[in-house]
Amino acid sequence: MTQTETVTTIRFPYQDPALTIEQRVDDLISRMDAADKAGMLFHMMVAVGDPAKGNSAYGIPSVVAMVRNRRMSHFNLLGAAPTGHEFAAWHNAVQRIALEQPLGIPITFSTDPRHSFTDNPGASMMAGPFSQWPEPLGLAAIRSAERVRRFGDIARREYTAVGLRVALHPQIDLATEPRWARINGTFGEDADLTSELVAAYIKGFQGEELGETSVSTMVKHFPGGGPQKDGEDPHFPYGREQVYPGGEFEYHLKPFAAAIAAGASQMMPYYGMPVGTEYEEVGFGFNKSVITTLLRERFGFDGIVCTDWGLLTDVSIMGTPMPARAWGVEELSRDERMVKALSAGVDQFGGELCTDVLLDLVAEGRVTGDRLDESVRRLLREKFTLGLFDHPFVDEERARAVVGAADFVAEGLDAQSDSLTLLTNEGATLPLARGIRVYAEGVDASALAEYASIVASPEDADVAILRIKAPYEPRGGGFESFFHAGSLAFPAEELEHLGAIADVVPTVIDVYLDRPAVLGGLETRAKALVADYGASDAAVLRVLFGERGPQGSLPFDLPRSMDAVRASRSDVPFDTENPVFRFGHGLRY
């Protein structure tokens, strides 16, 4: 199958590329029945595999059933991807199923981020065959809008090669609450930096305007998901409240204003419910004062609003019960929740299957035909703008060449290295000399062997290299286990172990910061301390041994203690007292 294969038989005006998009949308809507329209409003997950088989881990029917029976045409790709060629072939096979239906409405495939290191089925996927880059925090550490736009352009090429046309990102929440588990996907704590980078990110994915070579961006999580009470995440009932003790609701809106100005095509409200503000105390996906009054009217956003996943229906994920994230409206029935979300201004329900509920609401007159058409029109307009009706297939051989192309991989590796942030470097310990004796933990021996002689104990080493991760408190199993939350302080036994090595041999510590960490004195015990935000051993070692200098700057403050964190205001940036290292800190050599 090649990109040149198109839908050539024009039976209806909406299939005619010579007409305007609005003419095509008008014609197609006139031919759709209520079931066709209802199916458009659902954006469900699917995994690469046999289209006729469902996904038992998530309780999801087969793609065939969802397309044929529920008339759905928007799907979010779960899990690791196969090779580019296999991915493209699967895409084409599923697209054929959709085009065989009476109206032949092509599928729009979306994805959470899949170019970095995080593996969380509810937030981000491992890079797999795609080029691998630092997490967004690392892009923020580099502080280059041009590099961010370049990343977006490369990711766009890899996505479009396999048929991924909607990015369920960027995530532009502000990391003002250091304990929050979703900081890794943000650009950090500063609204101005995030605003600059999100504009570049959107231009990289979409181009100057949305078109046939674009990947549409679904910006999240409006109106800013950073200020979570006690840093807890609203995927779970204990994290449902967003609080603004410092009165900084407007600060969190700044990046979204920049995203809209840059042409963001879609917007995702977060799960949380605002507490103590002028807005209704219900989850943002049900919140008319936020979606209609603030987003639609104040900011003039007329793009697609898609809820975060699972607002309506209680489910089980990985064997663990997951109640609907219907915060503030838990007492409402599923149909009442749906009516409230549609009344709030939502166009699409993420992670939901209940097309039958919507059809009943339409039949009962509780959702009007005009209201249904309003959202269907937005969704169809984007499909036509992306060229899906005219070019629904991808070139499988081109996908083989584009996904993970050598120059893309090289640029991603450079970005990993450049994002490294040198926090301390006592006595110019770094860069290290090649050929020295190294004791290592958390480093692949084959990568290190290119630079040094590996020894089995600190006592025999010239230097120790220790790669560690920011601490967190493990929560429940299943889905919840993927969210790193709770205390930012290292356990005493880990600090003792690291300190014992540092007492024996000059020690270089690289700490992976998916959240800020309370360093607990590591900044003085280690001879050199480096922060990374997603970097391979190869990317780190070439910086430690001087092949490439660190260029990163901290995208947030590193707090001095958990007492300082608890005393800070969740919505206020740079609010922990006397941080060990401040936003923007980063040494060079």
Residues taking part in catalysis: 308
Torsion 513-516-522-528 (CA) sign: positive
Per the structure block, which two tokens stand in for 107?
A: 């599928």
| Beta strands per DSSP E along 41-118 | 42-47, 74-78, 108-111
State which H helix or E strand residue 579 sits in.
Answer: none
DSSP string spanning 281-330? SS-GGG-HIIIIIIIIIIS---SEEBPPS-SS--EEETTEEE----TT-T
State the Cα–Cα distance between residues 12 and 30, nearest whole angstrom: 11
CB atoms within 10 A of CB 391: 17
Q: Crossing angle, helix 145-162 and helix 191-206, to 10 degrees?
A: 40
Query: Angle between the 369-385 and 21-31 helix axes, to the nearest 10 degrees?
Result: 130
Sort strands 108-111 and 216-222 into parallel, antiparallel or unpaired.
unpaired
Q: Sort 435 into a burial class: Cβ within 10 Å, 0-12 / 13-18 / 19+.
A: exposed
List the structure tokens of 404. 């993970």
Q: Give the integer Cα–Cα distance in Å for 68 and 228.
A: 40
Of 585, 589, 570, 582, whose CA–CA distance to 173 is shortest?
570
3-class state of residue 198 by DSSP: helix
User: Rounded to an integer, what distance in angstroms lies between the CA atom of residue 282 and that of residue 272?
Assistant: 8
**Which residues does 100 contact at the CB level (< 8 Å), separation at least 6?**
none
What's the rounded Cα separation, in Å, for the pair 446 and 455? Answer: 13
Read off the tokens for 479.
């889905």
Q: Do 284 and 270 meet the contact criterion of CB atoms below 8 Å apart? A: yes
**Residue 475: enclosing H or E segment and its boundaries?**
none
Q: Answer yes or no: are the C-beta atoms of 420 and 537 closer than 8 Å.
A: no
Q: For the residues of 330-397, what is the DSSP string, one character each?
A: TTS-HHHHHHHHHHHT--BEET---HHHHHHHHHTTSS-HHHHHHHHHHHHHHHHHTTTTT-----HH
CA angle 506, 508, 509 (to 5 degrees): 135
Q: Cα separation of 556 and 554, whole Å? A: 5
Q: Are 326 and 281 in contact (CB under 8 A)?
A: no
**Token digits for 302?**
């007329």
* Residue closest to 558 by CA, chosen among 513, 507, 495, 526: 513
> What spatial distance separates the first Cα and last Cα of the chain, rounded to whole Å?
51
